[in-house]
């Protein structure tokens, strides 16, 4: 029983360690790509679950707009870690553009555009991870 509790506690701590919610104003000061990526995942992953959703209430739209703003900041910061890799920088730029589109779609309360933006953002993330992770 004690071993099970220790294992469960270790797994919980590991899961919490990957969760980053750095204040928006502090994202430009991050010095590690892992921290930037953890912030992106913490922000984006819950939003990706909304792909295909037919409607959004005001709280969800506000969360989407906030996510869009955070993802714009993290994607700009990600470009600093490109180190001459044009494809890495291009994928960060694509994520930034799609995050801007998500913000506009959330502001317009357009569920189809929100889903399209989220789908394209998820594809940018997967494309980058498959090449550079």
Q: Fill in the DSSP letter of residue 54.
A: S
Predicted structure pTM score: 0.84
Asked if residue 5 has pLDDT above 60, the reply is: no
Tens digits of residue pLDDT in 14-55: 444 467 899 999 999 999 999 999 999 999 999 999 999 999
| Among 60, 61, 16, 62, residue whose Cα is nearest residue 42 | 16
* Domain range for 75: 2-132
Number of separate domains in the chain = 1
CATH of the domain at 113: 1.20.120
């Amino acid at each position: 029983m004690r071993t099970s509790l220790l294992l469960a506690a270790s797994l919980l701590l590991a899961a919490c360690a990957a969760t980053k919610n750095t204040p928006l104003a502090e994202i430009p000061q991050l010095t590690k790509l892992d921290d930037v990526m953890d912030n992106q995942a913490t922000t984006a992953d819950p939003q990706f679950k909304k792909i295909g959703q037919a409607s959004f209430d005001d709280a969800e739209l506000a969360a989407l707009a906030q996510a869009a703003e955070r993802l714009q900041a993290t994607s700009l910061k990600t470009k600093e870690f490109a180190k001459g890799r044009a494809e890495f920088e291009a994928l960060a730029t694509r994520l930034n553009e799609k995050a801007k589109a998500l913000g506009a779609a959330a502001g317009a309360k357009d569920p189809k555009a929100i889903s399209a933006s989220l789908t394209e953002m998820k594809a940018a993330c997967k494309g980058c991870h498959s090449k550079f992770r």
